[in-house]
């Protein structure tokens, strides 16, 4: 079984305010410190750079692969201590259902009552992106954990590139629940493609953890936001 261990928290450098000579914080971008084009290029979001396809092996036991787990869980715990989640998922009761499939059942009343309601009809899986509806460019940077990019793209965000970012899921279903948002500024609809799928696979490989899961759900399959994203979290039982 997965043991939930609290790890020392760190303060991300993007949380530091820009201070002028008078000692007052200066607003940057639109002033909301969001993940849109107005603010993200001005942020100091930490970068996790992964190796290319030819340099990585899913069977590697290098200690470097475990850095992702430490980085993700340290920052996730820090966001929990700041009260950024809508409920405490670690207090939810869960158990493995007897049988050969090993289904995990969880009683999560908070997700049922407090999860963001969908703004889209569910009779069409593929729908165009609508900037007027909620999307991840409107998320505050306090919910963002780090950029997740190939080493070849390990450069500052300058407004000409669209970075992939990892943010917390404020309505989590498991410990360490995050969202991987490919090329967040490109505002892609919730439709999986080869490039985004490979990015999600890289996240799973970098974690190299049998308890770590990466998933995808479309509109009509309980996705409530039509902005391309993957789910990732630590399940209480290992993959087998």
CA atoms within 13 A of residue 156's CA, in its CB half-sphere: 5
Dist CA 24 CA 235 (whole Å): 43
Dist CA 212 CA 214 (whole Å): 7
Residue 229 a catalytic site member: yes
Choose the catalytic residue: 177, 202, 227, 229.
229
Dist CA 60 CA 58 (whole Å): 6
Dist CA 32 CA 36 (whole Å): 10
Which residue pairs from 152-156 have beta carbons closer than 8 angstroms and sit at least 24 positions apart in sequence? 152/52, 153/49, 154/47, 154/49
Query: H-type helices in the chain, by residue range?
Result: 67-81, 109-114, 194-207
Catalytic residues: 229
């Amino acid at each position: 079984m997965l043991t939930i261990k609290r790890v020392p928290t760190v303060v991300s450098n993007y949380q530091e305010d820009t201070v002028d000579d008078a000692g007052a914080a200066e607003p940057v971008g639109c002033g909301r410190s969001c993940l849109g084009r107005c603010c993200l290029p001005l942020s100091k979001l930490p970068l996790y750079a992964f190796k290319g396809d030819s340099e990585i092996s899913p069977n590697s036991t290098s200690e470097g692969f475990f850095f992702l787990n430490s980085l993700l869980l340290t920052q996730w715990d820090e966001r929990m201590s700041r009260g950024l989640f809508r409920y405490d998922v670690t207090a939810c009761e869960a158990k493995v259902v007897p049988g050969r499939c090993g289904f995990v059942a969880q009683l999560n009343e908070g997700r049922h009552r407090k999860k963001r309601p969908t703004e889209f009809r569910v009779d069409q899986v593929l729908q165009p992106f609508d900037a007027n509806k909620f999307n991840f460019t409107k998320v505050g940077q306090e919910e963002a954990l780090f950029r997740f990019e190939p080493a070849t793209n390990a450069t500052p965000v300058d407004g000409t590139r669209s970075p992939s970012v990892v943010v917390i899921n404020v309505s989590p279903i498991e410990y360490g629940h995050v969202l991987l948002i490919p090329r967040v500024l490109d505002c892609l609809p919730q439709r999986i493609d080869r490039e985004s799928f490979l990015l999600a696979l890289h996240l799973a490989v970098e974690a190299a953890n049998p308890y770590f899961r990466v998933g995808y759900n479309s509109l009509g399959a309980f996705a409530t936001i039509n902005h391309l994203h993957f789910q990732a979290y630590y399940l209480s039982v290992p993959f087998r």
